[in-house]
Amino acid sequence: MDQIKEVLHKVLEITTSQNFIGIGSTRKVYRYKNLVVKNHLHKIGHLQSIKEQEIYSDLNLKGMTQYLAPVLYADEKLSIQPFHEPLPLKNGETYNIEFETDNRSTNELKEVIEEIDKKYDGFDLLDSGNYGLNQDGNLILIDYGMTKKLYENEWVPLATAGILPQIYFESCQVCGREKELRIYGENDSDRRCLVCGKE
């Protein structure tokens, strides 16, 4: 808990560009030592973190959390998890993991994914962006709080309205590289990547 207190005390110092490691539509992620801090960009991000806490707690009672990253702390503004090495992108974008052929996958992880899908209405559990690697080089689920209901009832209307970004794989209009770009609705003509300044 001392490290959690340290993060909370230094949160403004930690959540800066030099510690930035990733961003989704509802949370922005920073690394601090062996932890990650997920800044909630929207209330949906907070709901995802709370759902992750619930899932981890429930599955921990069943002994099913070996390949599931715990949420060590969560409040309305942020959540904290252990750091796991993110999976590399393929051709600049995330991809669906083929669990039957990926040698980084385990039977235990497959059981966890099935449980989250069936019992907790899990959404987007194949996307490589939701996984890291543990110390043994096996997949570990690090982002698992989005549910189908939350996605359909809250995320989709906000993304359609241009309030939350959708991810498109296109060429950045500044650097010219094909990357995952954050696009806010169909009328968003700003095709810059994160590196070139668009969040």
The model's pLDDT over 101-118, given as tens digits with 9 standing for 90+, comes to 999 999 999 999 999 999
Domain boundary assignment for the chain:
2-154, 165-199
Judge whether residue 82 has pLDDT over 90. yes
Residue pair 196/170 in contact (Cβ under 8 Å)? The answer is no
Residue pair 74/37 in contact (Cβ under 8 Å)? The answer is no
Q: Which token pair is 173?
A: 């209009």
Judge whether residue 155 has pLDDT over 80. yes
CATH code for the structural domain at 2-154: 3.30.200.20
The pLDDT assigned to 1 comes to: 64
Residue pair 46/154 in contact (Cβ under 8 Å)? The answer is no
DSSP bridge partners of 40: 27
Summarize pLDDT for 38-75 with one digit per residue, the tens: 999 999 999 999 999 999 999 999 999 999 999 999 99
Judge whether residue 93 has pLDDT over 90. no
**What is the mean predicted confidence (pLDDT) over 15-31?**
95
Least trusted range by pLDDT, from 14-18, 109-113, 166-170: 166-170
Residues 31-49: b if buried by 16+ CB within 10 A, e if exposed: bbeebbbbbbbbebbbbbb
State the angle between helix axes of 43-61 and 107-120 in degrees (0 to 180), rounded to the nearest 10: 120
Compute, in degrees rounded to 10, the torsion defined by CA atoms 76, 81, 85, 88.
Answer: -30
Sheet holding 85-86, edge to edge: 85-86, 131-133, 139-141
